[in-house]
Structure 1
Amino acid sequence: MASVAPFNPKRPVVTADDDNLSDTDIDSSTTHPPAAAPPSETASVRDLLDQYKDSARVVKALQRGDFYDADLDALWRLVPPHVGDQLSRAADALGTPLDAVERGLEDRRLRDEIERRHQAERRLAAESDETTDADEQALAAMAADTYTSDRLDELPQPEWLIDGVLPRGKLIRTNGPPKSLKSFVTLDMAASVGTGCDWHGHKVAPARVLYVVAEGASGTRQRVRAWEELRGCNMTDVDFYPRPVQLGDDPQLRLLRLYVQRGGYGLVVFDTQARCTVGVKENDAAEMGVIIDRLGLIQERTGASCWLVHHTPVGDDERGRGSSAVLGAVDTEFAVNRNRQAGTVTIKNTAQKDAEEMAPATFDVVESGTSIALTTSGGAGSAPVPEVTNNQLAYLRALADFEEVGATATELREEMGMAYKDRNKVSKVLGALAKKGLVRRTGSRHAISELGRRAIQRHRLDEYVQDDQKEPYEQQQLLNGEGDSS
């Protein structure tokens, strides 16, 4: 497993009110190259022997230390007799006399026999009908926790952080492809939970939020200020921890759990899952099952919801990348997709265990301050915006300076500092923009249309979208040391 910087609860947790949230102060994910695996984590003796088919290779393996001294007895049992002389010389060179190997073999046989006896005792105990006092207490507890049909009404009903959308004390995950704005959507919901403000018409039960910004927090301040400007209120009770917390590391997980308990947090966001599970193979059901179990411990001990933000595989815009074990474990799951042409983002509730799934919701992506935010106003996304080239975008920006009056082709050419010989080029570009509806022509004058202004705005919005560019699909494959994870 890779060596990573541990969760440090003494490091200041940044709140939304801290204007000193600079790029340097909150640079994320300090990871180090993985340490060399100890010999016990290399391949087994039998696996190594499969790689070394002749005696010369076996001897070289011994000399490199690929084998434990304690495993040399297994080696002697597995190698062909005709390589014995060379192996004997190699063992002597390693300072492992043959009699030590023989003693190790006897010790191994003794340990194997003891383990066989323990397995037999455990099997007999499992098959026994006799009970102890401890057994009786456990059986009584099982009976108390077993519900008849008449008692099912006693089961607690789901509690909500966001009514009908975000449950309390559950496991949540948001999936989305690169540049889908899934981090913006997650922050939008988390901010409503922290402040207690309604989330686009849904009632909210306020709770403190700890947002683990594991992919890089350089744009967090701008996003928070954009949300505050659009909503007209401060993002209170949302704290940001600008480093990854490794869920596969027991000491880090324990410190995080204690920090959540002491802080009274009701929602913990891990953005992203991949950055908080470095070294864990996301395609491995067993390894991901351990991560789910550890998140469950946080939920059980603190009562907080745990929320993973994750990437989708290539060719699938809804399913979370990696093992389906996570899909079976999450209580609530969302898929986020962005429509650049329409200037919108759509949230689809793909899973909701204890209630009816929320209907898909589409929001306008609007510029706010120096970043972007989501709104239900319905204005910005009224019509698709055509794609434009960088050259066409430069013309639109120059034409926008003339406002409603517009400009002739000559005035525009001079404004852009172009030569007289480029006059035909200017006319050609203006014609293409007019054909797309981005420019309107009245006589000899050209003025930017509302659609053209939205094309400029869309490109500004693209510049704000930084969250999903930090972990391309191929990079995460290398992180996990695996191949195609789709």
Structure 2
Amino acid sequence: MDNVRHLAPYDSADPDGLTDSQAENLEAEQSVLGGCMYNPRKISEAAGIIQGSDFYRPAHETIWDAILRLHARGEPTEAVALSIELDKTKDLKRVGGRGYLHHLYEYGASDPGYYAEKVRHFADLRAEAELGRRIVQRATAPDAVPGGTTTFIDDYLKRQAERAAGRSGDPADALLAELLDAASLDAMPALEPLVGDLLHLDSLARIIGPSGHMKSFVTIDLAAHVGTGMNWHGHHVRQGTVVYLVAEGARGIRKRVRAWEQHYGLKMDNVLFLPRPVQTRGPEWDTLIEAMRRLQPQMIVIDTQARVSVGVEENSNTELGVVIERIEDLRRATGACVLVIHHTGHIGEHGRGASAAKGALQSELHVSKKGDSARNIVVTMKVGKQKDDEEGRDLQFGLKVITLDGEAKPDGRPLTSVVLESLDARPTPLTYGTPEWLVAALDKAAVDIKWGGPRVIKWCAEQGIQMRKEKIEEAVRLRKRRGSLDEALDVRNDLPPNLPHDLETPTPPKTGGTPGEIAQNPRSNIPPNAGGGPGDAPSKPPSPRSPSREGGGVGEDDENTTPTAPLCAVCGRPLNTDWAARGYDTHIGCDPTTGGHPNTPKTNHPDTEEQ
């Protein structure tokens, strides 16, 4: 390496080793910008030749990007519209103010396509000068190896060829090449689910709801399940890193996280919190985008939309559109699900402000609550929008109060928070929240069996029992059906013909267990021994039944039975004619496994007699 001349010290004033006349052509850049401002039809032609990075001056690159945004939205690109656009992004002063934009407009008579070629020419010269500088630096580095410089040159030439191919040619031909036929649509990547059918990767989603209706609690629960990889209340979850921008209510986040960890017995791993807002229209948003690009999280939560868009007129589609576009920049840089929390308006059905945001959403979830305390609050999540999937059913949650271990308020009272508990995914066999459990609870409390659904729903609310309305109504139906087996014959129309004999004269079943078993459930306030003995429901004596209602057999009226009356398919005795006319071929109490009539002493079957 002795024959290689060492480089002179790096001169920051001349980064590319070029003179001013070689590094840029100021008038060419101004002509491109002014011509596109004056004649928007030329923008597509110029965009097919140059990129924003081809401008030597950063201010010109910023102006060019603003022109492209306006053109993409179909808005004017003249000086006034451009100054408004740059003012929204806080870039107007940095590019020289309104005066400089009007100065550029004076170049409107020029041909943007012609001068775009010149801008590209100087950009290529700067790139080659930079290449030469890096080649010498690599070749003279202490750890340089033979062939390393050649590989670097090959990679550079490949990138330049791809870049030139993307910018050259007729822009219309390039656009036509992007069109897909129906068969080619299968090659497009499908949406990847993040949380069941509710949230997807590389999408923009939003949770909306009135203030104070548990939106943040639902979102923290979602984030925690994504971070830990646990299924979210019956919905499959793809595990990944979550970044949570706590732009609102940052001081209360710690207590909610600790309550979740204590409830599930897990650390909320892979969930990172930024306890302050970052403004979408400020320069720090670009820093956030770059940081997230490096981290590559699966989910980014913005809590709330209003706190990251301070000063934006949210009723303006134009201004809100800029905010949504900046959030979309975050999504494009990461491929994450960007979940925004937003408040509803006075009506409470739609997100507050302009409707421009909803069109960009892949999913929108509406969260609301009913109740006034943790004991009786029911949180409902409705799927308000799914762009590419059918809207799923509503989800409902109750709240469980968690007393934080080892923590207390300054006055000594325990420190508490709440976590969500699904009212849809509870276990079914005689556990809290099922119709069967409620039947036992109503029996234990000696609730009148004649109570209808509305009255039982009110009773459940008074007792702090959180259940879905349809499950409560199902419990009411179960109780009435069980209690109606001894009622009039016409009630039996819906009963199966081979009803087991032990249900013919039912008594309310025991709730089972030890005294106060239901009261031991922390979410129930039912007295342990209400309405009966220890752990038992009050007994009900069997009601007398007329032989005619029994459906035949011993003791039935002879006048209702004729010698030609149909016979029971099990015991062979005559059936009541009215009963047979209903289509039944057995007595109610006949047991098909024994072949005996309930009023006849059972004898051993010949096949089972002892030999």
Normalised to the residue count of structure 2, the TM-score between the two structures is: 0.42
Which aligned pairs between 1:78-477 and structure 2 lie closer than 5 A? 115=105, 118=108, 134=167, 136=169, 138-249=171-282, 251-316=283-348, 318-340=349-371, 342-369=376-403, 370-377=416-423, 379=432, 383=457
Q: Which runs of 5+ in 2 are unaligned?
A: 1-97, 116-163, 404-415, 427-431, 439-456, 464-518, 527-611
The C-alpha deviation readout for 1:204-224, integer Å capped at 9, x for no partner, is 111101101111211111111
> Given that residues 211 and 269 in structure 1 are in contact (C-alpha distance below 8 angstroms), is that contact kept between their aligned partners in structure 2?
yes
Measured in 2, the distance between the counterparts of 1:114 and 1:219 equals 51
> Given that residues 195 and 236 in structure 2 are in contact (C-alpha distance below 8 angstroms), is that contact kept between their aligned partners in structure 1?
yes
**Cα offset, 1:387, TM superposition:** 8.6
Measured in 2, the distance between the counterparts of 1:308 and 1:284 equals 18
Q: CA, structure 1 residues 207+119, in 2 after alignment: closer, same or farther (shift >3 Å)?
A: farther
Select between 339-348 and 185-194 the one with higher mean Cα deviation: 339-348
The AA in structure 1 aligned to 2:360 is A
Measured in 2, the distance between the counterparts of 1:261 and 1:124 equals 36
Measured in 1, the distance between the counterparts of 2:103 and 2:308 equals 42
The AA in structure 1 aligned to 2:383 is N
**Cα offset, 1:330, TM superposition:** 1.1
Structure having greater relative contact order (Cα 8 Å, sep ≥ 6): 1
Aligned length: 280
Measured in 1, the distance between the counterparts of 2:270 and 2:113 equals 53
The AA in structure 2 aligned to 1:374 is L
Measured in 2, the distance between the counterparts of 1:189 and 1:451 equals 24
State the identity as a percent.
Answer: 37
> Given that residues 169 and 304 in structure 1 are in contact (C-alpha distance below 8 angstroms), is that contact kept between their aligned partners in structure 2?
yes
Partner-residue secondary structure (3-state), 1:194? helix
The C-alpha deviation readout for 1:59-83, integer Å capped at 9, x for no partner, is xxxxxxxxxxxxxxxxxxxxxxxxx
Select between 132-141 and 227-236 the one with higher mean Cα deviation: 132-141
The AA in structure 1 aligned to 2:255 is Q
**Cα offset, 1:121, TM superposition:** 5.5
**Cα offset, 1:252, TM superposition:** 0.9
Residue matched to 1:459: none
> Given that residues 211 and 241 in structure 1 are in contact (C-alpha distance below 8 angstroms), is that contact kept between their aligned partners in structure 2?
yes
Measured in 1, the distance between the counterparts of 2:420 and 2:334 equals 30
> Given that residues 177 and 312 in structure 1 are in contact (C-alpha distance below 8 angstroms), is that contact kept between their aligned partners in structure 2?
yes
The AA in structure 2 aligned to 1:208 is T
Measured in 1, the distance between the counterparts of 2:109 and 2:318 equals 23
Q: CA, structure 1 residues 297+451, in 2 after alignment: closer, same or farther (shift >3 Å)?
A: closer
**Cα offset, 1:193, TM superposition:** 1.0
> Given that residues 334 and 351 in structure 1 are in contact (C-alpha distance below 8 angstroms), is that contact kept between their aligned partners in structure 2?
yes
Measured in 2, the distance between the counterparts of 1:244 and 1:361 equals 30
> Given that residues 365 and 380 in structure 1 are in contact (C-alpha distance below 8 angstroms), is that contact kept between their aligned partners in structure 2?
no
**Cα offset, 1:315, TM superposition:** 2.2
Q: CA, structure 1 residues 380+340, in 2 after alignment: closer, same or farther (shift >3 Å)?
A: farther
Q: Which has the larger radius of gyration?
A: 2
**Cα offset, 1:356, TM superposition:** 1.9
Partner-residue secondary structure (3-state), 2:169? helix
> Given that residues 161 and 207 in structure 1 are in contact (C-alpha distance below 8 angstroms), is that contact kept between their aligned partners in structure 2?
no
Measured in 2, the distance between the counterparts of 1:283 and 1:320 equals 11
RMSD, matched Cα: 3.5
